[in-house]
Structure 1
Amino acid sequence: MHQTSWMTSTILNRLSANAGMLLVRSLWDYCPEHMFIVRVEGPADFVIEAMNPTRQAMLGDEATYTGKRIEQLLPPPLCHGVIANLHRCVECASPIRYEEKGGYLDRDGICQQGHWQTLLVPITNQEGAVTHLFGVSRDMSLLPEQPVGAYSESKEFERRVHERTAELVAANEHLTHLATHDALTDIYNRRYLLELAELELRRASRYEQPLCLMMLDIDHFKKINDIEGHLAGDEALRRVARTILATVRECDLVGRYGGDEFLILMPETTATGAREIAERLRRTMTQTTPLTISIGIASLEPSDHFVVDLIHRADTMLLQAKRNGRNRIECAA
């Protein structure tokens, strides 16, 4: 029984935050196909990070390939074809299949000829950039000759490739959603919203564009929980989230900050525009639900370097709205 080495295990643990890698990890040690992970360093710059035990049996131990570039491991022209296909997978950011033929040096330094059918699956970070490629290869030259009319084993491999690709893509989409969205309201969670907000703040500062942040919460939310129960409180949070999404623009970032507090980041929006959106949201809440909300608004200032600067001012305005009677909007001057 093959066991993943400490170095490969470390790599897989680090990458397992990405959804697709969770499935890879469960298959890594025991799948009879050749598996490998490549780190994307540049348009034509790819570094081997790991290979499964099946691949190691062909090319050698980890020390012979980890951290090396494709051109250091495979001779031309084979390496050129491999690099071209890796680049193609990065460019289209979706799984691809290809075949390649050529010679390579095995773990004993002997030149071997191979014919491989390979599936490449891109692994992306939370910003959608392809950082790694996961590959599954089968050496077709080792398959026995198929009698005429028989079901080709390559067709069976192709079927399995399609199934595996669908599993990887579905798992990646599902777990990425879980990692970035609030489980109760299905809007962005605090961590991911703040990451996106920091990017928007830097962009707005760089191009000197207006930016506003809105913080709101539900009036008398504690009373809802105390009198009607926490299930009613949960439903109130979901109704507010749905109303926000139906009211704000597609470009606005909406997330749950904590408890009954919500944040809305509004790119390219002045204080006047943000107040109009806030008033439309406040009015919609009172007309379509039994709930009311209080809202605080802060605009980007030249001295703001982090999103927390806007959050602090918006929170101050929210507290002022509460003190002034609730169901109202206060905007920082």
Structure 2
Amino acid sequence: MDDISGNNPLGNDVSDLNADMLHAVMELVSDGIWDWNANTGFVYRNPGWYEMLGYPRHSLENNVFTWENVIHPDDYPGVMVIFDDYINQRAPHYQSEYRCRKKDGSYLWIEDRGYVIARNPDGSVGRMVGVHRDIHSRKHSIEQLQKRNQSLEALVAERTRELSRVNQQLQLQLDENRILAEQDALTHIANRYRLEKVLLEECERAERFRLPLTLVAMDIDDFKLINDRHGHGVGDETLLRVVEGLNACMRNDDLPARWGGDEFMAVLPGTTLDAAKQAAEHIRQHIAQLPTLHDVCVTLSLGVAQRHRGESAAALMRRADQALYRAKAAGKNRVSE
């Protein structure tokens, strides 16, 4: 409440009010009323003040030290700042919430309001009255609400972390599924699906920027004979050996892929027919020079085709496949265009 000592023409009359009469009125009020005569140091506290804190009536010293001693140590500095600002006229009113120690040692939240009703000629406080009001239930409710909010926030945070973990796991699964969908199960190079997808993209890119693009079709010579004589286990080992050799001959931008069975293709972006034929010959020689596996000598037949302007991916694949058949017809283990 505001300091009324300076703007109330009856201020002196109020300060001179018979203390016994004023205190008699205070005895009837249930709230904790206090009356501080700063000039004498005497502090009157009504029965409601004592009952609020669990003390017998008028059982404590009637001075400001009693007030200071019941304030919670953690709250004391802040209360004093607010109190000093008010009595020194740096703040328009005095109101503070803090904890007071009860007789049983526990602490009670109270709201303390007060105002100066008289000042001395030098401006210092002459007399000040105020009220302590029990706000413990309200504070307790607020604390419980804050704890519930914190618990809810913690729960939300945990659920958010859990959802993030689930999303990461789902993303990893999606990535893995995407890889599996575009990867040959045995050789782990690109499968037919990815080959068609990449070839289509490269055809569009070659058309857009007028770049050369070459496709190499490859087939393991006499692979059926290898399976028939040595079994599918050796056949699988042969496929893996060929893929290992293919990977060793590929550039970073090239894509080797298993077309199906013992047939492979390689997409060579930015590569002319002559350069692709050289690359295909290098692949043929590299495979032919691999150490024998179970007395099996492995060779490749290769067909090379460079994309024509406006040619579709399917048409390019047909021409590369036709070139491969020409290599087979010419005696195998060779490159044809």
TM-score, normalised to structure 1's length? 0.53
Deviations 1:179-204 (A, max 9, x none): 11111111111122112101111110
Q: Structure 2 unaligned runs (5+)?
A: 1-144, 293-297
Q: Structure 1 unaligned runs (5+)?
A: 1-140
> Which runs of structure 1 show a deviation greater than 3 angstroms over 4 or more consecutive aligned residues?
none
Distance 1:146 1:302, change over 3 A: closer
Residue 170 of structure 2 is aligned to residue 198 of structure 1: no
Structure 2 CA distance, aligned partners of 1:180 and 1:277?
Answer: 25
Q: State the partner residue of 1:243.
A: 245
Contact 2:254 2:266 in 1 (8 A): yes
Residue 305 of structure 2 is aligned to residue 298 of structure 1: yes
Structure 2 CA distance, aligned partners of 1:244 and 1:200?
Answer: 20
Structure 1 CA distance, aligned partners of 2:305 and 2:262?
Answer: 19
Q: State the partner residue of 1:315.
A: 321
Q: 2:179 aligns to what SS in structure 1?
A: helix
Residue 144 of structure 2 is aligned to residue 144 of structure 1: no
Structure 1 CA distance, aligned partners of 2:228 and 2:314?
Answer: 31
Q: State the partner residue of 2:71.
A: none
Structure 2 CA distance, aligned partners of 1:271 and 1:151?
Answer: 65
Q: How many residues align?
A: 188
2:148 corresponds to which letter in structure 1? P
Q: State the partner residue of 1:258.
A: 260
Residue 189 of structure 2 is aligned to residue 187 of structure 1: yes
Structure 2 CA distance, aligned partners of 1:154 and 1:308?
Answer: 53
1:146 corresponds to which letter in structure 2? Q
How far the C-alpha of 1:154 sits from its partner, in A, is: 3.5
Deviations 1:94-123 (A, max 9, x none): xxxxxxxxxxxxxxxxxxxxxxxxxxxxxx
Structure 2 CA distance, aligned partners of 1:236 and 1:299?
Answer: 28
Q: 1:187 aligns to what SS in structure 2?
A: coil
Structure 1 CA distance, aligned partners of 2:226 and 2:148?
Answer: 70
Q: 1:166 aligns to what SS in structure 2?
A: helix
Structure 1 CA distance, aligned partners of 2:323 and 2:154?
Answer: 69
How far the C-alpha of 1:166 sits from its partner, in A, is: 2.4
Q: 1:251 aligns to what SS in structure 2?
A: coil
Contact 2:183 2:189 in 1 (8 A): yes
Q: 2:219 aligns to what SS in structure 1?
A: strand
User: Quick one: which of 281, 285, 288 aligns to 2:287?
Assistant: 285
How far the C-alpha of 1:283 sits from its partner, in A, is: 1.4
Structure 2 CA distance, aligned partners of 1:289 and 1:307?
Answer: 35
How far the C-alpha of 1:151 sits from its partner, in A, is: 9.7
Deviations 1:190-233 (A, max 9, x none): 12211210111111012211110000010110011100111111
The within-5 A match list for 1:82-231 is 144-146=148-150, 152-231=154-233
1:292 corresponds to which letter in structure 2? T
Structure 2 CA distance, aligned partners of 1:187 and 1:220?
Answer: 22
Structure 1 CA distance, aligned partners of 2:232 and 2:244?
Answer: 18
How far the C-alpha of 1:303 sits from its partner, in A, is: 5.0
1:269 corresponds to which letter in structure 2? T
Structure 2 CA distance, aligned partners of 1:328 and 1:292?
Answer: 9
Q: State the partner residue of 2:66.
A: none
Residue 335 of structure 2 is aligned to residue 329 of structure 1: yes
How far the C-alpha of 1:152 sits from its partner, in A, is: 2.6
How far the C-alpha of 1:288 sits from its partner, in A, is: 2.1
Distance 1:248 1:229, change over 3 A: same
1:214 corresponds to which letter in structure 2? V
Contact 2:207 2:310 in 1 (8 A): no
Structure 1 CA distance, aligned partners of 2:270 and 2:321?
Answer: 21
Q: Percent identity?
A: 37
1:177 corresponds to which letter in structure 2? I
TM-score, normalised to structure 2's length? 0.52
Q: State the partner residue of 1:6.
A: none
